[in-house]
Amino acid sequence: MKKQFAVLGLGRFGGSLVEEFINLDVDVLAIDRNQEVVNKYTNTATYAVQVNGVDEASLKSLGIRNVDHAIVSFGDDIEASVLVTMLLKDMGVKQVWVKAVNSYHQKVLEKIGADKVIHPERDMAKRIAHHVVSEKIIDYIELSKDYSIVEIMASKKIHNKTLFDLNIRSKYGCNIIGFQRGNGEMVISPTAHEIIHEGDMLIVIGHNRDINRFEEEGV
């Protein structure tokens, strides 16, 4: 049985989520208070609904409790975001992810039981900053304050060397968990005898300090 998703708030972030869910052939309920905004998704979302006030009665009438995963994205309306998050958790929605405006908003959402708090602008800013600062780092995902996953471009320095030769875990304390060849081939959980070529995209996980040292010295 396909999972059911709901997106509440169809601004730039919420609307983009709906479009991507549709591209992935996922059932999605799109909800907003603005009828003009809802009309944009009437012919694409599984269901697109306009609600004047997002309260318990309106959510129940939409059958929201049957949704497996809800994403709340009400822009700068912190009050609506908090209220809807509380209602969704009280109604038993399994996963409630919420877009936060700031750190204060995040703390409130965490206290009332949001399963994940999203900072799309902040997270994208971090990814862009890491990409701009280093010519080798292609992408960056923060796992916690201290740990990350990064995509690093292999240079001529390590061309034709095996992972055993590089001995990255021992030298730098981080791990290559996979890489993508120049022809698009993905290698996941590579063995020690896999050979790295210049231009391969290395997927590296570890402490930020160790990753930075590997990026500066090892690759």
Burial class (CB in 10 A: 0-12, 13-18, 19+), 77: middle
pTM for this one?
0.69
Rounded Cα–Cα distance for residues 126 and 135 (Å): 15
Segments of the chain with pLDDT less than 70: 1, 127, 130-133, 135
**pLDDT the model gives residue 24:** 85
Domain 123-218, CATH number (from 3.40.190.10, 3.30.1360.120, 3.30.70.1450, 3.40.50.300)? 3.30.70.1450
For residue 134, how far is the Cα from the chain centroid? 22
All CATH 3.30.70.1450 domain ranges of the chain, comma separated, are 123-218
CB atoms near residue 126 (< 10 Å): 15
**pLDDT the model gives residue 152:** 92
Q: pLDDT tens-digit profile of 75-91?
A: 788 999 999 999 999 99
Amino acid at 26: V
All CATH 3.40.50.720 domain ranges of the chain, comma separated, are 4-118
Domain 4-118, CATH number (from 1.10.10.10, 3.40.50.720, 3.20.20.70, 2.60.120.10)? 3.40.50.720
**pLDDT the model gives residue 196:** 95
